[in-house]
Structure formats: C-alpha cells, structure tokens
Structure 1
Amino acid sequence: MIADRKNDHVRLAVEQHRPGGGNEFDDVTFIHHALAGIDREDVSLTTRFAGVEWNTPLYINAMTGGSTKTGDINRDLAIAARETGVAIASGSMSAYLKDPASAPTFRVLRDENPDGFVMANINANASVAHARQAVDLLAADALQIHLNTVQEIVMPEGDRSFAAWGPRIEEIVASVGVPVFVKEVGFGLSRETVLCLRKLGVTVADVGGRGGTNFARIENSRRAGGDYAHVGDWGQSTPACLLDASDVGLPLFGSGGVRHPLDVVRGLALGASAVGVAGTFLKTVLDGGPDALIAQITAWLDQIKSIMTVLGARTPADLSRCEVRIRGELRDFCADRGIDVHRFARPFPTVP
C-alpha cells in the first residue's frame, strides 16, 4: 500500500505541474541599476551556511522513494546531482523504516552519487533510532525532518498526533550526529515556527512554502469524497516565509513554487542561503531522464550566475544586499505581519 501511495504522489504531483503559472515570487522585482554590473568571472556560486559549504545555492529537494518506479526516479535524480554538483535530498524514508525491503529505492541516491551532499529525510514522528537508521542507509551528510500536518490530516491513512513533534525534533538534533534541516512540504514556516526551530537546535529551516506541489490537493484526490478541497490554498508562500523569518538568526532555505532561475535569485535576495526545487525537476526527469535534468540544471546555474553578474553580486550572500521591490499580495502579507518592506529597498554599495 505504501508503494502504491508513493506512485500516486508522483503521478498527482506531475499532473499539478503547469508551466507558466504565477505565484508570489512574481511580487518580488529587482530595481535595475545599469552600472551595477560586474565581471562574470568574479561571480562565485559557492554558498556557506552554518559551517557548511556547497558549490551552488541550488539543490534538488525531497521527492520520492519506496517503490520500484520511484527508485528509478531517485537513480536519475542522483545521476543529475552527481554530474552538476548540486546537493540532493531523499524523499520521505517512512516506507523504508516500515519495510526495509524498500532500502534500495533510497540507497541509490548514495550509490549513484558517492561524493555528493545527500540529505536523508524522515517525518517528525520518527524515533531517534529511526533517524540514525535513515542517516546510516544513505551515509547522509545531513538529515531533513519534514513537517506536514496539513498533508497528514487530509491523507486518509495519515497521522493525527502532532504534539510530540517539537520535543522529538530536539531529541533527534541532540543525538543524530549530522546537521538537521527542518522543512515544510508546501504550507510554509511562519516566523514563530522558525524561532521555535532555532530554540530546538535545528541547523537550517527550509521554509517550503505554498506555490509549488500541493500535498493537500494530492491527498484530497486520494479521498473517496474529495471533501477537503477547502484547504487547498492553506499556508504562506515561499517569499512570504522568507520575509517573515528574515531576522530570526537561523539559516533559511527557500523551496516551494520555484519555476526558473530568476525565482532562485529572488529567493536568495530575500535571505535564503540556498533554494530547492522539486516539482519542476521531477517533470523534467520523467520526460527526458537524467540527461534532460543535467542539461536543465546546468542551464539554470549558468543563468543564475548571469543574473548575479547584472546585479553586481559576487556571491549568493551578496544578493541579500540588492535592492528589491515588494508588491501585490506579498506586500499585503508584509503589512499584516508588521514587516517593513522598505528595508529591502537598499541601494547596493557598488552602485556609482
């Protein structure tokens, strides 16, 4: 039954993918300074956060695993990660923790990518022993813990008990022996949640905002009556979450609704140390295999570097000093949350 659910998730996620759609990333625009550009050869994509260094600020976010079909997808994703040098996260390893026979569908991420940065992935109900088991299977460099209360409530066979999640995360952080990254699955992390995660000792908060794959709608499609349609728009967008938690003091990742290289640069400008992509890359790898995804990621990295050149940003961290304008519903969100959008309209120091 778990394998069938994992296959359903892939099918329904791809059905949701509609290139060209809008989201709140479109409410973030850069003020163009025509003399701010620098030499492209001076631009580096290296990003650093919490003592970790990645060659690029782009990563392949958690997707799948647990069935023969999804194991094949993970193999192709791992090959693309290996060839492009981007970090990669496993999909939820709950299937493996319940049925060790599914281990190869996850282990392939390390087998095909022996020297890459690989993140294991569990939910917040997992025990410390399970967390260590997941990390050991992938020889993982970090552990992702995903938060997905909305998905679980809509999922017919989902969890219904969440009160222990905070203490469990703190216990895992203290015991697992690798950095712990906590992510939402598409409903966003509020400032208050990120503050809690900082107190729990988490290394990175991946805000995982609304705008990309929608697991409330996916799980509702699996319900006989489809009676949870009213929660299909639950949560905050990725840009909203980044703005909301920009001053918390915990490294942030931005994922959810990232459609193209400009969205990556926007996320970095709003304070993310790295930006993750799942749905867009899943569609590419299903349509064209690892070669198509390698070509796409390579092109994205080239374009990210080009946009940074125009903006005068030598590093991803420099993008957080570029002048941006916040408009539309995103600006309304900032007003409601008491976020001063004018502090993001700061002339970059290199502008003459």
Structure 2
Amino acid sequence: MIAQRKDDHVQLAVEQQQQHSGRNQFDDVSFVHHALAGIDRPDVRLATSFAGLSWQAPLYINAMTGGSEKTGIINRDLGIAARETGVPIASGSMSAYFKDPDCADTFSVLRKENPDGFVLANVNATASVDRARRAVDLIRADALQIHVNTVQETVMPEGDRSFSSWVPQIEKIAAGVDVPVIVKEVGFGLSRETVRLLESLGVRAADLGGRGGTDFARIENGRRPLGDYAFLHGWGQSTAACLLDAQDAPIPVLASGGVRHPLDVARALALGASGVGVSGTFLRTLLDDGVAALIARISTWLDQLAALLTLLGARTPADLSRCDLLINGELRDFCADRGIDPRPFARRSGGLDVPHEMTGSTR
C-alpha cells in the first residue's frame, strides 16, 4: 500500500506539472536594471554557505520520493544527476523504510550513485530520534530534513490527525542527531512566526517550501474517491511571500516551491534565501526525457544563474541580497497586510560604485 501511494504521488505530481498555468508570485518580483552594473564572468562564484554547511552552488534537488521499485529507479537517476552536476540532493520521506526495511535500497541508492556529494535524509515530524538516526545512517546523510505537512496529512485519506506532538518531537530530533537539522514545508509555506519557533527548537535552517509548485492537497484529494477536499487546493503562502515574511529571520532560510527557471532562483536568492530547491520541474524533465536531459538541464541552469549574477553585478549568490528589487501585484498586497515595507527593496544597492580607474577619466 505504501509503495502504491508513493507511485501515485509521482504520477499526480507530474500531471500537476503538465497542468500548471505558468504564473506564480515570483512574477511579482523584478530586478531594477542598472545598465552598467555588470561584472566579469570569471569573477562570479556560485558557492554558498549557511548554518556551517558549504555547497558548490545555491541550487539543490529537493525531496521527492522513494519506497517502491519505480521510485527507487527515480532516486537512482536523481543521484546520478546530483553527482554529475555537483548539486546537493535531498531524499524523499523515508517513512516507507521504517515500515518496510526491504525498500531501504530505494533510498540508499542516492548515496550509492553519489558517494561524495551532499545528501540530506528526510523524515516526518513524528519520527523518533532513533528513526531519525537510522535515516541519517542509511544514506550517510550530511544533514537531516524534517518535513512538516499538516495540510497534506489532513487531506490524505490515511493521514495523521494529531499534530500537537510535532513541536516537542522536532526539538528532540534536533538535539538527538549528529547532523544539522533543516525543517521544510512541503508546499504550503512557513510563516515568520514558525521560523522563529524553529530557531528556538534548535533547528539550524528552514526550507520555506511555499505555494506555487506541487500542491499536495490537490494530490491527496486526487486519491480520495469523492475528491471532497478541493476547497484546500492552493492553501498557504507562496514561496516569494514567505521569503518576504522571513526577512531578518534568526536562522538561514532556503526557498523551494514553484521555482521554474534560473530567474526564479536569482529572485529567491535576492529575497534572502541561502539556497534554492527544485523538485517538480526536475522530476518532469527526468521522466519525460531521461537522466542525461536532467543533467543537461541542471548544468544549463547553473550556467544561466552565473550569467544572471554577472549582469546584476553580484560576485556571489549572497551579493544578490544587495540588488534592487521591485515588489508588485498580489505580493505587494501581502506585504501591506503583514506590515512589511516593500519600498526599501528598490533602493538597496545605494547606486553604482565604479572604481575611478575603470572610468578612464583624467580629471
């Protein structure tokens, strides 16, 4: 039954990708174009660091799947793509492994195919400390994701209905494992209040996991005979809104949910993300065109991201946080409702600062 559910999730997620209208609230964020801000491409470095972790690039393959024969093949190919491109990768929820240890290889294949890469294990907020440690050990994980998904569980026919234990359990796991813990939403967003709470629990970083990508309320409702939870489709805050809400967060934040192309990656980094995760877009590429196509796509994204940094005058991903941004549309309305002033984002650069010797002036 678990294996079938995992296969259903993949099928329904791909169907959503095919049906997406193409627009989300990242489109309400635009860079102010400064025509002379560009720098030299060799001066750009994509490496990023946060919470004591160092990545070659600020892009990562986020949690997707595992637990069945079909999803094991997907994880094998994702592991290969991560190895060939040097990006970090997160396992899908490893709950299936705890219920059926025979499916362990559908998760451990991530490490088998990517022996030297950065790999994150993934458990839910009800996992015991022992299970969290087992998940980390199984794939020799460099960090642990704890996913929170109350909306998905609510719609899931066989989902949890008790959530009060999640906060103390997250604190226990964070204290009980030997790797950094990152808490991630699965597509409904983390509010600023939640991020502050996570910091108090010992969590090292938060993956905001906002609305805009795969909608797990829609997926689980698709598994219900009557489809009677359609009113929860589209629940939550967008990833861009969560990033604005998390300004001055006490822990680093990562962005995932609705990331469609390298410009969205740059937007997320400019809004304060230390890294940007992608799931649905990469999954569809893999299933439609194969692992070679996914490797090519990730490589192209990294090259195009470096190109964006070059024209924006950002030598590192962190430098994007000094670029001028315009916040418009529904996202500006969100800022007003949450007491966020969007105007300072448009004046962050302080104007162009060109060294005198570069101007050629003899004055």
Structure-2-length-normalised TM-score: 0.96
1:236-283 residue CA offsets vs partner (Å, 9 max, x unmatched): 000000110111221000000000000000000000000000000000
How far did 1:349 drift? 5.0
In the alignment, which residue of structure 1 is the partner of 2:209? 208
Q: Could you say which residue in structure 2 is the equivalent of 1:7?
A: 7
Structure 1 residues 350, 41: CA separation in 2 closer, same or farther (over 3 Å shift)? farther
Please state whether the residue corresponding to 1:334 is helix, strand or coil. helix
Return the letter of the residue paired with 1:15: E
Map of 2:319 onto structure 1: 318
Partner of 1:116: 117
- The amino acid across from 1:32 in the alignment is H
**8 Å contact 1:3–1:66 — kept in the other structure?**
yes
Give the Cα–Cα distance (whole angstroms) in 2 for the partners of residues 302 and 234 of structure 1.
34
Higher mean alpha-carbon deviation, 300-309 vs 16-25, is at 16-25
| Kept after mapping to 2: 8 A contact 1:28/1:266 | yes
Structure 2 equivalent of residue 238 of structure 1: 239
Name the structure 2 match of 1:98.
Answer: 99
- 1:70 corresponds in structure 2 to 71
Q: Partner letter of residue 36 of structure 1? A: A
State the shift of 1:184 in Å. 0.1
Give the aligned partner of residue 359 of structure 2: none
Give, in angstroms, the shift of residue 285 of structure 1: 0.6
AA aligned opposite 1:12: L
CA shift digits 1:22-49 (9 cap, x unpaired): 0000000000000100001100000010
Q: Secondary structure at the match of 1:16?
A: helix
Give 1:4 shift. 0.2
Distance (whole Å) between structure 1 residues aligned to residue 237 and residue 348 of structure 2: 28
Gaps of 5+ in 2: 354-363
Report 1:1-352 matches (<5 A): 1-18=1-18, 21-349=22-350, 351-352=352-353
Deviation at 1:343, TM superposition (A): 2.0
3-state SS in 1 of match to 2:37: coil
> Residues 28 and 44 of structure 1: is their aligned pair in 2 closer, same or farther, counting only changes over 3 Å?
same
Task: Name the SS for the 1:121 alignment partner.
Answer: strand
Tell me how far apart the structure 2 counterparts of residues 139 and 294 of structure 1 sit (CA, whole Å): 23
**C-alpha distance in structure 1 between counterparts of 2:24 and 2:38, whole Å:** 28
- AA at the equivalent of 2:264: D
Q: Distance in 2 between matches of 1:347 and 1:272?
A: 16
**Partner Cα distance (2:268, 2:21) in 1:** 18
Deviations 1:146-184 (A, max 9, x none): 000000000000011110101001101111110000000
Aligned amino acid, residue 5 of structure 1: R
Q: Where in structure 1 are there 5+ consecutive unaligned residues?
A: none
RMSD: 0.9
Q: Distance in 1 between matches of 2:38 and 2:21?
A: 28
Letter in 1 for 2:300: A
1:306-330, Cα deviation, whole Å (9 max, x unpaired): 0000100000000011000000000
Q: Which amino acid is 1:248 matched to?
A: A
What per-residue deviation string (whole Å, max 9, x for no partner) do you get for residues 70-115 of structure 1? 0000000000000000000000000001110010000000000000
Question: 2:289 and 2:221 mapped to 1: Cα distance?
Answer: 29
Percent of matched pairs sharing the same residue: 71
Secondary structure of the 2:347 match is coil
2:21 and 2:296 mapped to 1: Cα distance?
A: 20
Q: Which moved more, 1:148-157 or 1:245-254?
A: 245-254
SS in 2 for 1:351: coil
Structure 1 counterpart of 2:194, one-letter code: T
SS of equivalent to 1:17: helix
Matched letter for residue 16 of structure 2: Q
Query: For the residues of structure 2 that align with 1:78 and 1:272, how far apart are their CA atoms?
Result: 24
SS at match of 1:272: coil
Question: Aligned-pair distance for 1:348?
Answer: 2.0
- CA distance in 2: counterparts of 1:11 and 1:115, whole angstroms: 30
Matched residue count? 352
- Contact persistence 1:36–1:350 (CA under 8 A): no
Shift of 1:350: 6.6
1:84 partner amino acid:
T
Counterparts of 1:336 and 1:20 in 2: how far apart (Å)?
26
Distance 2:148 2:216 in 1: 12
Distance 1:20 1:163 in 2: 36
Q: Tell me the alpha carbon deviations over residues 37-72 of structure 1, each in whole angstroms, 9 at most, x when there is no partner.
A: 000110000001011110000000000000000000
Could you report, residue by residue, the CA deviation over 1:205-256 in whole angstroms, capped at 9, with x for unpaired residues? 0000000000000000000110000010110000000110111221000000
One-letter amino acid of the counterpart of residue 288, structure 1 = D
Of stretches 339-348 and 260-269 in structure 1, the one that deviates more from structure 2 is: 339-348
Letter in 1 for 2:310: T
Do 1:169 and 1:200's aligned partners in 2 also have CA atoms closer than 8 Å? yes
> Aligned to 2:231, what secondary structure does the other structure show?
helix
How many Å apart are 1:347 and its aligned residue? Answer: 4.2
